[in-house]
Amino acid sequence: MFENKIAVVTGGARGIGRAIAEEFRRSGARVCVIDLRSNDYFVGDLSEQAVLEAFAHKVIADYGHVDYLINNALPLMKGIDQCSYEEFNYALRVGVTAPFYLTKLFAPYFAPGAAIVNISSSRDRMSQPQTESYTAAKGGISALTHALAVSLAGKVRVNSISPGWIDTDCAVYEGPDADQHPARPGGKSHGHRPYGALSLFGQGGLSDGGEYLYRRRHDPPDDLSQRLWLEAAGEGLSVKTAICYYSRHHGNTRKVAEAMAGEGEADLIDVTARRMVRLEGYDLIGFASGIYYGKFHESVLRFARQYLPQGKPVFFVCTYGGAKGGGPRDVAELARERSCPVLGVFGCKGYDTFGPFRLVGGIAKGHPNARDLENARGFFQSLKKTYDSEETR
């Protein structure tokens, strides 16, 4: 998808910027990083005009065009008590002037279908004490996005993403530091999914509402970066899914889970694997099991009790030889207790030699068959669309 594409990433030697750059590289793009820190392309201070001009000259001399410009570099964060006049202006030069000037320098060289992604922040409207230089810069890049989107309409897509608190060291916090913001903005965190988002990239100009607000408090930068480069390519947002399954005997449930996982970004988690699991980073969580005496296997319910986070959208998958009985009823009740919306239930026949069925050679032989698996794939695709519509409502 990104073969021979040229991606420019500012502040790409660490944290979110580094993760974005790595994702582009893994996808076949050629990446031009500029950062004060050591990197394999260009080391320089984004606050200096001559540095920006030298960097842009090198990019065009090396590759001749730009497909993606990711303005990510972190502006200085200091507050009213400690920030000097020079430091405040330095933050603005890095956070606002550099994105503007790089866009101006690359303007004649943007390829057809090019995109600019400006990394803003939720801090531009949910400020914390003593962050004035950073907050002003992030507010500036948000406003600059609107203006550039209009100016470059029909030529380059220009959008911003506003992450919440992103801990690039992936530390775990407790107490007051675990709260995203003292004002506690409305709504629930849905992991690294955008909260209340509209489509980020339209067909040019200021597209369909214009921004994403990422609400996760400690979102791993690699997860965030995957969404950035997918959106920069105009490919749509992926839904990171976990399918937690119990599958024994004939592997019926695993076959269905694998078919679903092949349709998108989904991890399969065996609930009997006896390892610590963190589901907070997933957008959507599925629970899958064969039917045992009319219900899900007890190990699935135990797993859900231990690991299911509050408020996560869930779905259920079951395979059965005879009647499915109550199916996922027990796990669904737990989901309701934890305010987890249930988006759907999929069931299909599965070869069953459990209990007395063994005496007759089993029932539902040959299932799940090709049609069952195709139906499972269709269910999963529909499920993701349902999730997107719920998220973007």
Q: Which residues are catalytic?
A: 134
**Cross-strand pairs, 119:** 161
β-pairing verdict for 241-246 and 211-214 = unpaired
Query: CA-CA distance, 71 to 160, in Å (whole number)?
Result: 9
**Cβ atoms 356, 322 nearer than 8 A:** no
Dihedral sign from CA coordinates of 20, 22, 28, 34? positive
Cis peptide before 194 (omega within 30 of 0): no
Of 288, 232, 15, 214, whose CA–CA distance to 110 is shortest? 232
Q: Using CA atoms, how far apart are residues 7 and 67, in angstroms rounded to an integer?
A: 6
Torsion of CA 184, 241, 315, 353, to 10 degrees: -150
How many other β-carbons are positioned within 10 Å of the β-carbon of residue 203? 10
Contact 169, 154 (CB under 8 A): no
Residue 384 carries which side chain, given as an amino acid letter?
A: K
- Dist CA 36 CA 51 (whole Å): 11
184 vs 178, 188, 197, 221, 310, CA distance in Å?
12, 10, 18, 23, 17
Whether the Cβ atoms of residue 162 and residue 142 lie closer than 8 Å to each other: yes
Side-chain-side CA neighbours of 208 within 13 Å: the count stands at 11
| Helix (H) or strand (E) segment spanning residue 354 | none
